[in-house]
Structure formats: C-alpha cells, structure tokens
Amino acid sequence: MEAILRWGLPTALAPVAWGANYYVTHRYLPAGAPLWGAALRALPAGLLLLAAARRLPRGAWWWRSAVLGALNTAAFFVLVYLASQWLPAGTAAMVMALSPLALMLCAWLLVGERPLPAQLAGGAVGVGGVVLMLAGDPGPAGDTGGTVGASGASGADGLPGLLASLGALLASSVGYVLAKRWAAPADGGGTPGVLASTAWQLTLGGLLLLPVATLAEGAPPALDGGALAAFGYTSLVATALAFLVWFTGLRRLPAATVGLIGLLNPVTGVLLGTALDGEPLGPARLGGMALVAVGVLLGRPRPGGASPRARAGRTGLPPARRAAAAAQGCEPPPEA
C-alpha cells in the first residue's frame, strides 16, 4: 500500500490529464491538421524538459530515444488526435479501456512481468466499469455515447477511427514497456533519469513529426487565442507533466498496476462531461466508476511481486557503482 500511495497517486495525474485532453482536443483544436497537432504537442514539451534536464543522449540512448519517440510520441499522438476527431468520446474510451490488458501482455512478453490473477481480474473489472459508464451515457439526441453512431460515424465510416484507436493502443503499450525495459538494464548499471529520457523521446518524436507535417499538411494551421491556450494545456500539462509522472510510475511500479491506474482516463472524461456539458451522472455511471476503482485496487503491487528482471535491477549494485552512476547524471536502479 505504501508503494501505491507514494508512486501511484502521482502516476494517476497522467490519465486524469489525458482524460481532460481528449475533451480539449475535440472541442478546441483544429480538426484538419493531425500531424501539426501532434508536433505542436510534443516538441514544446520535449524542449522544456530538455532545458530542465540539460543533457543529451549518449551511446545506445540515441536510437532508443528515437524508437520511444516514434512509438510514444509520433505514432501515438497522431493516432490519438485522429481518433479524437473521428470517433465519439465513448467509442474511443471503450477501445482505450483495453490498454491495461494490452500493457500486461506486453510487459509479460518483453520484461517478464507475469500478471497476477488479481491484476487480470482488475483489468476485466475495470473494462466492465468503463463499458457500464458508457452504457449510461445518453449521448446526443438520445444516442448511446458508446456507439460509433453517436457522431454519425457508423459502419465503414467509423472504421478509420477505430483503427486509429487500436493503433494508438498498440504503439503506446509497446513503447511504454520498452521504456520500462531500458530503464532497468540487465548489467545493473545506471540509466538516464526519467526527466532526461522523457525529454529525449518527446523532442526526437516532435522532430520526426516536423518534416512529415510540413510535407503532408503544408504550413502550420492558423490558431486563435482559444486554440493557443488549448495547445498550452495539451503540451505543458497533458504531455510534459503527464509523461514525466507516467514514466516515473512505470519505473517504480509493475506495468499491470500502472495500466490499471490508466483507467482513470475515461472516468475523467465522464466527470468532465457532467461538469462542463451538464450530462447526467446516473446510477450506471456511478456504478461503472465504482468498478473502475475496484479494478485499480486489485492492481496494487503485492510484496515480492516484482519481476525477476526488476528484482535483479534493484539488488546487488555496490554503493561505489551507485555513486558513479549518480556522478554521471544517471539514475541507478530503484530501491525496493
């Protein structure tokens, strides 16, 4: 319980910020420039964190940061931007609610973190809670918010949005677990601090997007005051701050636990709909939120539940090696 309070609560800031970001993107940002939208989200956040970290990648961290930037920044931001424009909130939230289970599977395959039965149950309960919340969404004109038809995108018309959501789910799951894997090298040496590694992947991901956005969409879109303020929130809060606390959580907690905390994303969307759009908060939504809370609690870390890779990274590093890593600006493997 101490671990979930110490690291889980800060990590929860990320899905809350992302849940609000879906609303901001859908309501205030231009719909016709997804590549520029992703670049303007990633690059300012990355440069801000890079100025704070004051160090560049070295050695293998150049290509690692490029891979993470391509997955967690370039591909993920573009696909989420498209999904937010092409799908109603309910449909996108239902697809992304599968992210805890996808993250558990990737962590099992890539870092040897086999999910516990309670965590798998938490994923199932949490997904059920999201579905129940969406079933209680009246949607516009009486439609169900969890159906594609809520925004007029039905059948084949809704397929691109669904594919974008699934692509974002896959890219982020693989990218998050690779970030966790590379943060705990098998040789027990130091690794870049989470501030530096987050800055590198956001900056390189944004730089990857710039030429593609210019070739595909031309000049950046004209932005009014509302769009500028929305991009400010998207870049500084929903990206710089959110990714910093999210990757910190991935280093300190099991991937299954972090993935289940991510279910707070659709909960935030429902609460924002109630607060800002006057949507009713009926029994189905309240019951769904309760199920999500149960799912998050089921995913809390258990004593001795770390993977063999994580346990190897946390033990056996001599004090001299830890001091040398700190002197080089690297973060030694976290303590148990």
Q: What is the pLDDT along the chain (336 residues), one digit of tens a residue?
A: 566 678 889 999 999 998 888 788 878 888 888 899 899 999 999 999 999 999 999 999 999 999 999 999 999 988 887 887 787 766 776 787 888 999 999 999 999 999 999 999 999 999 899 888 877 655 443 333 333 333 344 444 478 888 988 999 999 999 999 999 998 654 444 578 999 999 999 999 999 999 999 999 999 998 999 999 999 999 999 999 999 999 999 999 999 999 999 999 888 888 887 888 777 888 888 999 999 999 998 888 766 544 444 444 443 444 444 444 444 344 444 433
- Cβ pair 45, 246 in contact under 8 A: no
Provide the pLDDT for residue 4.
65
Provide the pLDDT for residue 50.
97
What pTM did the predictor assign? 0.79
CA atoms within 13 A of residue 12's CA, in its CB half-sphere: 16
- Cβ pair 58, 250 in contact under 8 A: no
Nearest C-alpha neighbor of 285 from the set 76, 122, 131? 131
Dist. CA 129–CA 257, nearest whole Å: 17
What is the sign of the dihedral through the CA atoms of 185, 190, 194 and 196?
negative
Provide the pLDDT for residue 84.
73
Dist. CA 72–CA 67, nearest whole Å: 8
Give phi and psi for 50, each to the nearest 5: -65, -40
Dist. CA 97–CA 129, nearest whole Å: 9
Provide the pLDDT for residue 21.
87
Provide the pairing of β-strand 330-331 with 191-192.
antiparallel
Provide the pLDDT for residue 267.
87
Dist. CA 125–CA 265, nearest whole Å: 15
Tokens for 276? 């800002």
- Domain assignments of the chain as residue spans, ordered by start: 2-326
